[in-house]
Amino acid sequence: MILENKNAVIYGAGGSMGGAIAKALAAAGAKVFLTGRNIAAVQIVADEIIASGGYAEAGQVDALDEAAIKSHIQQVLQKAGSVDITFNAIGVEAIQNVPLADMKADDFIRPITIAMQSQFLTATAAAKVMIKQLSGVILTLTATPGGIGYPYTGGFGPACCALESFSRNLAAELGVHGVRVVNIRSGGSPDSKVFKEAIERVPEEMKQVLDKMEGDTMLKKLPLMADVANVAVFLSSDLAAKITGVTIDVTAGTTAALNYKVPR
């Protein structure tokens, strides 16, 4: 197991992507400490990991609450002896499919504020612990709009760009302490909860959306949650010991959104 003796803290672990990452890290041997505002959802993931033979603990933590984040990470440190991996997968309440010219300022700013506040608080809390350890990995997650102009993504696109920049800058500061910071850019996973719910709600519309998204990839497929989780496991391990300060693209080769035609 490539993550044996590693301790991982996952924020937003009750969500589909956070849960997938948590399960993959646990399957690779890590002890996972799962957090979220909805403790019931987090506990379900923890129970599934335990039932599969892994180690998991669930805790109620609001990843926008600085005091709660610091308190929890200190509890993990005291119990496990180290914090080796952190990953933040909380939702950012993004409104999409609305032209920027028609969007309300609050709706545009909201995902940027949530993403950057939460990622800053969780990453820097981990950084303080990892600097003393002289080791650790901080993982973040963005999507296709972090790398190219993509229409109708509202504030989500700028949030992705801001997070990728933050990840690079944090890596530049922490590298001297032996701490790695890596961002994963996904193309959107059709088996994630947000996509599944949309498919159930508007199946015909979502078929067109997914067809366009797949058409904008080189592989003509979208990455599943397991694909993203596998990359997270690799980046958390010593196999990726010299990878930091970059975004790893797991978009299945996103092109330039050629299939997204903006009406004139």
pLDDT digits (tens, 9 = 90+) for 163-220: 999 999 999 999 999 999 999 999 889 998 888 888 899 989 889 888 888 888 889 9
Domain-located, residue 208: yes
What is the Cα–Cα distance from 257 to 12, expressed in whole angstroms?
29
Q: Which residue has the higher pLDDT, 261 or 249?
A: 249
Tell me the mean pLDDT in the region 220-242.
Answer: 97
Q: Average pLDDT of the chain? A: 94
Tell me the mean pLDDT in the region 227-254.
Answer: 96
Residue 250: pLDDT band with limits 50, 70, 90: very high
Per-residue pLDDT of 44-83, as tens digits, reads 999 999 999 999 999 999 999 999 999 999 999 999 999 9
Inter-residue contact 189 to 144 (CB < 8 Å): no
What pLDDT, on a 0 to 100 scale, did the predictor assign at position 263?
64
What is the Cα–Cα distance from 177 to 80, expressed in whole angstroms?
21
Neighbours of 246 (CB within 10 A): 15
Domain-located, residue 197: yes
Total structural domains within the chain: 1
Contacts of 57 (CB under 8 A, 6+ apart): 31, 32, 33, 34, 46
What pLDDT, on a 0 to 100 scale, did the predictor assign at position 215?
86
What pLDDT, on a 0 to 100 scale, did the predictor assign at position 262?
60
Domain-located, residue 174: yes
Q: Is the pLDDT of residue 119 over 90?
A: yes
Give the domain CATH number at 235. Answer: 3.40.50.720
What pLDDT, on a 0 to 100 scale, did the predictor assign at position 254?
83
Beta pairing partners, 55: 31
Which phi and psi angles does 258 have, rounded to 5°?
Answer: -65, -30
Domain-located, residue 260: no
Domain-located, residue 67: yes
Domain-located, residue 2: no
Q: Is the pLDDT of residue 257 over 70?
A: no
Domain residue limits at 88: 7-250
Per mean pLDDT, which range of 75-79, 116-120, 187-191, 241-245 is the poorest?
187-191
Inter-residue contact 33 to 76 (CB < 8 Å): yes
Per-residue pLDDT of 14-51, as tens digits, reads 999 999 999 999 999 999 999 999 999 999 999 999 99
Which pTM was predicted? 0.94
What is the Cα–Cα distance from 12 to 5, expressed in whole angstroms?
22
Crossing angle (nearest 10°) for helices 105-133 and 66-80? 30
Domain-located, residue 215: yes
Q: Which of 230, 216, 253, 264 lies closest to 27 in space, CA to CA?
A: 230
Beta pairing partners, 139: 87, 182
Q: Which of 20, 65, 5, 57 lies closest to 35 in space, CA to CA?
A: 57
Domain-located, residue 264: no
